[in-house]
Amino acid sequence: MIGGSEAFRIAHGLIDKLATFDAPVLIEGETGTGKELAARAIHYGGLRCNGPFVPVNCGALPEQLIENELFGHRRGAFTGASEDSPGLIALARGGTLFLDEIDTLTSRRQITLLRFLQDQQFRPLGARQHQQADVRIIAATNSDLEKEVARGAFRLDLLHRLKVLHLYLPPLRERQSDIALLAQHFVRAASARFGKQEIPIDGPTLAWFERYHWPGNIRELENVVYRGFLLAEGASVSIPAPPCIAGVDMHRGEAPLNYRRAKDQAIADFESRFLTDLIREANGNVSAAARMCGAERRYLGRLLKKHGITTTAP
């Protein structure tokens, strides 16, 4: 984990503390802020570092198969079950089970998880005896679970079970001084991965990096740097500024905005904030987001792509 800003140092210091306690952790933060990376840091910095780290995307678990995915099954438990199969909980025994996008679980599946968390016992499908699970639970979400509870979409008792310890990861816009460090790191990573000689990022590019809102956070920055580095033909990485900050002259500092540029920038900033909140409320589902805001899905998809906002479902 890379950074030196005050917001980063606070979060990083808390990660070190959380790692020393073998208790459930809830990590909250916007999409792209590094929640799984933080979960891995907690795991590998703690007592279970020699055990497995098993990540699970709750949004990708089939509704009708979630118990089989989590708890496993015995041979003959259902048609096609020709042999025993351990679930994700068994695979995480002695280590950490990381439940990402925990807010995507339906009410019924929240009850299934709650029963397990109450005593850490589970029974594989087709088995007669319960098993004890020796796992640490770390959950993550890009939603405000307190608000989800208030609107009846998330169980309060499950929130209490998950939020024994809590970590909030700040968005990149609150870590402005870390942006250049992260960008140069991604250049080095891309150089090592793709076998291209490392080159620096030029000043004008770093200047608009520090002014941009980064709705997709660190993941968006990584993608922008990778693309700019791989396509660079000169002695440095030079990436044009997006339209929302096009009224800034990167070589001479901030130029006065005329009416049209000021209007365009205000609209772009509004779109970015609105779409970020909208896609978070829709749990990353573009179709659901389109229905919520009354927009045509294809048009909304173009806007999301324009602002670099990450989605998780069609």
What is residue 252's predicted lDDT score, i.e. its pLDDT?
38
What is residue 23's predicted lDDT score, i.e. its pLDDT?
93
Q: Clarify whether residues 206 and 185 are in a common domain.
A: yes
Q: Clarify whether residues 295 and 223 are in a common domain.
A: yes
- Spatial distance between the Cα atoms of 5 and 77, rounded to a whole number of angstroms: 53
Q: Clarify whether residues 109 and 227 are in a common domain.
A: no
Q: Please, which residues have CB within 8 angstroms of residue 213's CB and are 6 or more apart in sequence?
A: 173, 244, 269, 272, 273
- Number of structural domains, the chain? 2
**Looking at the domain assignment, is residue 28 inside a domain?**
yes
CATH number at residue 224: 1.10.8.60
- Spatial distance between the Cα atoms of 301 and 287, rounded to a whole number of angstroms: 9
What is residue 278's predicted lDDT score, i.e. its pLDDT?
84
What's the DSSP call for residue 138? E
User: Which structural domain range is residue 47 located in?
Assistant: 6-170
Q: Distance from CA of residue 28 to its chain's centroid?
A: 9
Beta partners for residue 166, in sequence order: 26
- The residue out of 170, 203, 235 marking a domain boundary is 170
**Looking at the domain assignment, is residue 193 inside a domain?**
yes
Q: Clarify whether residues 118 and 144 are in a common domain.
A: yes
**Looking at the domain assignment, is residue 202 inside a domain?**
yes
What is residue 243's predicted lDDT score, i.e. its pLDDT?
80
Mean pLDDT by 10 residues, the chain (314 residues): 89 93 94 94 94 91 76 67 76 93 89 86 73 90 91 92 94 92 95 93 92 92 95 91 62 45 66 81 83 79 77 64
Q: Clarify whether residues 120 and 246 are in a common domain.
A: no
DSSP state letters, 67-108? HHHHHEE-TTSSTT--S-EE-HHHHTTTSEEEEETGGGS-HH
- Spatial distance between the Cα atoms of 191 and 286, rounded to a whole number of angstroms: 33
What is residue 94's predicted lDDT score, i.e. its pLDDT?
93
**Looking at the domain assignment, is residue 311 inside a domain?**
no
Q: Clarify whether residues 204 and 296 are in a common domain.
A: yes
Q: Clarify whether residues 19 and 131 are in a common domain.
A: yes
